[in-house]
Structure 1
């Protein structure tokens, strides 16, 4: 079995962060989301990975390399533009050959990995196997309709009037039969080749399509709210570790990681929190579910339930929470007179200011 990992796409819901970075490489708990997926694939016993890339190919290549650091063999497959999930299968046809494969969306996060899903597919041998989860607003997803016996009878992509609340999770398993389905597709109303249409093609022709309704945790990390929630979840599992410098007057409470080369002085940190290598925290408070990436500075400030990316600095501000702060960003107080907010914001930024 091979894996097909989708690592293209514009990441429009994470702008302006994704103006300068691939959405799959935005970190949670100081590790890119994509890396969690690659580790899940490896842990399921799969070694060969086709990585579908687009405009951010160079950045993905720098981060992943040939895959050897993950115990994988990665082959890069260029997609000229985001044309739908089924289009990714279409361009990977030669690479996949006659092998079964798991298709994994690189910005998705599945707690517990995919071992059980892959094992079930290998034993039961359906033509396709999908993961489903209950969601509050299925209009934003591919939606499955099941019959009384729990079999998949219909699929629809982002329907205006959903027939269920069961959304497709971004992990799919296919036999080579899917290639015939993909080859028969025509672009949808979104002008994309939809994987839901390919699976429906299999169903309509009597092929067996199985589903699993997952009870664990899944997130599409395509927006800030979901990124922060996944960060929270991952930090819940960290073990306390102090490899950097912490002075005698600082207080570390709970699961706190201070990586090698980081320095904490005169501060209070309530975990779970991770402070990356080379970062400085001085005269500050770090609250639960906060990730501070490498080479950051938090000075005379408070921050909680947030992600701070590499090289950012926060100096002399009151309290920050529920925030995603980009690479090399600077957050400082405005002059007292005149009393006004001074902002330099990139395209598609979002700011909430307390009155």
Structure 2
């Protein structure tokens, strides 16, 4: 089983947090988004992962090392591929053309999920979906009486289905998918100037490929600050029965309201932290109240009362209550 993870986007909706760190490496409950994604796919697959291909921009040597380590953590070989231009989902997948062999999962790195099914590798294709209240903002699938997908509909104005495509796909025959993607690129078949995976899926369906839905129990978006803070909250709830406070963290005269993740060598002094807070390594929180927030590594919070907030790496905040989105290396005093 190979996994292909396109993640070359600029993450503009997450700025300023993506100015120095790619969005998929923003931490959720102490681990990067992309690591959470890989681990959750691994649990659903329940079989050996051979190679994981990360399709990235030029994010730097350290990012590449981190991604390769994520692959290694689930027993797979990591591979780095580059998408030089943002030419669509089909083009991004084809950047990892050599991994399109045998069983393949394609997963876009701005979405996380929880599921209680085991991937049935005997199926020709599986498209992860989640039932949503208002499907007009999503691509959706229609099913026949046997539960096979009959149509892909992008942002329907009229109700046709409430099963939204979440951006994770399984293909039994990666080589077949590769040939269909190559056909799009070779013949310059685009939608709004980009090569789209959905066009390949439609062609495969028309040729007889039976796609079925993989219905997840929860779909978590990491597209912007508020969504990411909420996803952090949900993940802390998922893993609250595991130890979440590092043994080297120093907690003095403080109240910790679980679930809370506190990283290595973090310092919490004269503060109330939680619930639903992730604190990165070596971060200091002093004389403050922090709840429902993500605070990354090497940051300082003092004399503050914050909620529903994100602070980047090496950020410093001292002041009064706010709903914040503070990027890396910023300093704010009030």
TM category, shorter: 0.7 to 0.9
* Larger mean Cα displacement after TM superposition, 188-197 or 151-160: 151-160
Q: Judging changes above 3 Å, is the alpha-carbon distance between structure 1 residues 76 and 30 closer, same or farther for their aligned structure 2 residues? A: same
Deviations 1:14-34 (A, max 9, x none): 111001111100001111111
1:80 to 2:46 alignment: no
- Paired position in structure 1 for 2:286: 299
Deviations 1:154-197 (A, max 9, x none): 21344555632221122101123222321232454432211111
User: Conserved in 2, the CA contact under 8 Å of 1:5 and 1:103?
Assistant: yes
- Paired position in structure 2 for 1:244: none
SS in structure 2 at match of 1:305: strand
**Deviation of 1:76 (Å):** 1.3
User: 2:59, 2:155 → 1: CA distance?
Assistant: 26
Which residue, out of 163, 166, 176, partners 1:166? 163
Matches within 5 A, 1:35-184: 35-43=35-43, 44=45, 45=47, 46-56=49-59, 58-65=61-68, 67-96=71-100, 98-112=101-115, 116-117=118-119, 120=120, 122-124=121-123, 126=124, 128-158=125-155, 163-174=160-171, 175=173, 176-184=175-183
Instruction: Please report the RMSD computed on the Cα atoms of aligned residues, expressed in angstroms.
Output: 2.8
Normalised by the size of structure 1, how large is the TM-score?
0.81
SS in structure 2 at match of 1:235: helix
User: Conserved in 1, the CA contact under 8 Å of 2:4 and 2:99?
Assistant: no
Deviations 1:324-347 (A, max 9, x none): 11111111127xxxxxx9x99779
What stretches of structure 2 of length at least 5 have no aligned partner?
A: none
SS in structure 1 at match of 2:202: helix
- Paired position in structure 2 for 1:311: 298
Q: Judging changes above 3 Å, is the alpha-carbon distance between structure 1 residues 61 and 40 closer, same or farther for their aligned structure 2 residues? A: same
Count how many residue pairs are aligned between Structure 1 and Structure 2: 319
Matches within 5 A, 1:205-220: 205-214=207-216, 216-220=217-221
Deviations 1:105-149 (A, max 9, x none): 223212248x712xx1x223x1x2211111234344322222344
From the CA coordinates, give the structure whose radius of gyration is larger: 1
**Deviation of 1:284 (Å):** 0.9
SS in structure 1 at match of 2:118: helix
SS in structure 2 at match of 1:328: coil
Deviations 1:47-94 (A, max 9, x none): 212221113253431212363333110111111122222112322223
User: 2:318, 2:301 → 1: CA distance?
Assistant: 6
1:10 to 2:10 alignment: yes
User: 2:157, 2:81 → 1: CA distance?
Assistant: 33
User: 1:12, 1:112 → 2: CA distance?
Assistant: 28
* Larger mean Cα displacement after TM superposition, 143-152 or 323-332: 143-152
Normalised by the size of structure 2, how large is the TM-score?
0.86
Which residue, out of 315, 325, 334, partners 1:329? 315
User: Conserved in 1, the CA contact under 8 Å of 2:262 and 2:280?
Assistant: yes
User: 1:31, 1:148 → 2: CA distance?
Assistant: 40
Matches within 5 A, 1:217-228: 217-228=218-229
User: 1:283, 1:344 → 2: CA distance?
Assistant: 24
Q: Judging changes above 3 Å, is the alpha-carbon distance between structure 1 residues 295 and 56 closer, same or farther for their aligned structure 2 residues? A: same
User: Conserved in 2, the CA contact under 8 Å of 1:42 and 1:71?
Assistant: no
User: 1:346, 1:77 → 2: CA distance?
Assistant: 27
SS in structure 2 at match of 1:71: coil
- Paired position in structure 1 for 2:257: 270
Q: Judging changes above 3 Å, is the alpha-carbon distance between structure 1 residues 35 and 240 closer, same or farther for their aligned structure 2 residues? A: closer
